Amino acid sequence: MVSFRREKYIPAGGPDGGDGGNGGNVFIVGNSSVGDLVLVERRRKLMATAGAQGGRWRKNGKKGGDLSILVPLGTVVYIKGENGECKLLDEIRAPEQRVLVAKGGKGGLGNARFATAINQAPRVAGTGDPGEEHRVILELKSVTDMCIIGYPNSGKSFLLSTISGARPMVADYPFTTRQPVLGVIRGNRRDFVIAEIPALVEGAYAGRGLGSEFLRHVERTRLLVFLLDGTSSTISSDFSKLNEELSRYKADLCLKQRIIAINKLDIPQVKSRLLEMRRALNFAKSPVFPISAVTGEGMLEFIGRAIEIVEKVNQEEKIGLSPEVAVFHPRPKR
């Protein structure tokens, strides 16, 4: 601000314009209660509050308020450059994790800052620096404990509704699930988040069907649940093809813990072929559980084993993420 002190009995008060306030920053903050990016999907422009103007008597303007954009855990933040290239900025992994995406501008200086012995009555003030402006791309990779994958009509949605409080669309035609659905399994010590992604088809890793759009949600899960249709005559081939789709999408997915569930045990033909199907899946080297999402047969053993594997993986992750503590060992005195 450009201002001069004018008070009674104080002649030649001099410049007293204050500085402008700095602009607010824009942060992306992780929040475990947010499940998707709907809150920011339709808002094309997000802006922090600008700093207030300086005042008389050398009063500085108020700093602009920061803007916190709440996103779910597993959100990957990219900054898009002028040439169209996307640069990875950070990934939201923990609650309350803050990522600075745009820094606020610096407030201008009032005319009191420009007073010198030669120029004792400056009539100029600084305009300040503009804040940063970026094009940000947010990609959600859901962080879940378990993820159900399988072919169309294998019973994924019905299984999810049976073991959790989720209410996905269930119908007798393929591709009823068109987006990932999350559910919660109530445990003794904590709750477990389980997800169902749309059915995979051959070539999903390359963009066929709905697989390529939602396979990224498998990257952040701790346990892969392969749900196979017990009425299929090529059950070993079904598992191999599902595994191949995952490995072609990302090779690291083959290293994740996995469990196999053979659904539709309530059908007599399936129950009579259990021994045959178990032998056919021996090459997978993964636990195999025959279940029926309709009658609940085998569900307790299946869920118990799945929770046990998730807890083990969770403990291994905590050990791997624990920070190294530097210990100073002084030399002994002679």
Amino acid identity, position 193 = V
Predicted pLDDT of residue 75: 83
Q: Do 248 and 152 lie in a common domain?
A: yes
- Asked whether residue 16 is domain-assigned, the answer is no
Q: Cβ neighbours of residue 207 under 8 Å, at least 6 residues apart? A: none
Amino acid symbol at 79: I
- For 116-171, give the secondary structure using H, E and C: CCCCCCCCCCCCCCCCCCCEEEEEECCCEEEEEEECCCCCHHHHHHHHCCCCCCCC
Looking at the structure, tell me whether residues 274 and 200 fall in a common domain: yes
Domain count, the chain: 2
Q: Is residue 229 part of a domain?
A: yes
Report if residue 161 sits inside a domain: yes
CA separation for the pair 33, 88 (Å, rounded): 24
Question: Is the model's pLDDT at 267 over the cut of 80?
Answer: yes
CATH of the domain at 69: 2.70.210.12
Give the CATH number for residue 246: 3.40.50.300
Contact between 191 and 184 (Cβ < 8 Å):
yes
Kindly state whether residues 132 and 204 are assigned to the same domain: no
pLDDT tens column, 76-130: 888 888 787 888 888 887 888 888 998 888 888 888 888 888 888 888 888 888 8
Q: Residues 149, 168: one domain?
A: yes
Per the document, the length of the chain is 334
Q: What is the pLDDT of residue 161?
A: 80
Same domain, 183 and 121: no
Tokens 């892969």 belong to: 224
- In one letter, which amino acid is 28? I
In whole angstroms, give the CA distance from residue 285 to residue 114.
Answer: 76
Q: Are residues 74 and 150 in the same domain?
A: no
C-alpha span between 99 and 260 (Å, rounded): 38
58 vs 332 pLDDT, higher one:
58
Please give the backbone phi and psi of residue 271, each rounded to the nearest 5 degrees, phi first: -65, -35
Q: What is the pLDDT of residues 191-245, one digit of tens each?
A: 777 877 776 655 554 455 554 556 766 777 888 888 888 888 888 888 888 888 8
Same domain? For 79 and 195 the reply is no
Asked if residues 261 and 286 have their Cβ atoms less than 8 Å apart, the reply is: no
Mean pLDDT of the chain: 79
Is 332 within a domain? no
Check residue 147 and give its pLDDT.
84
> Is 120 found in the same domain as 86?
yes
Domain span at residue 235?
Answer: 144-320
Q: Return d(Cα 142, Cα 267) in angstroms, integer.
A: 34
Q: Please tell me whether residues 243 and 196 are part of one structural domain.
A: yes
Mean pLDDT of 286-293: 87
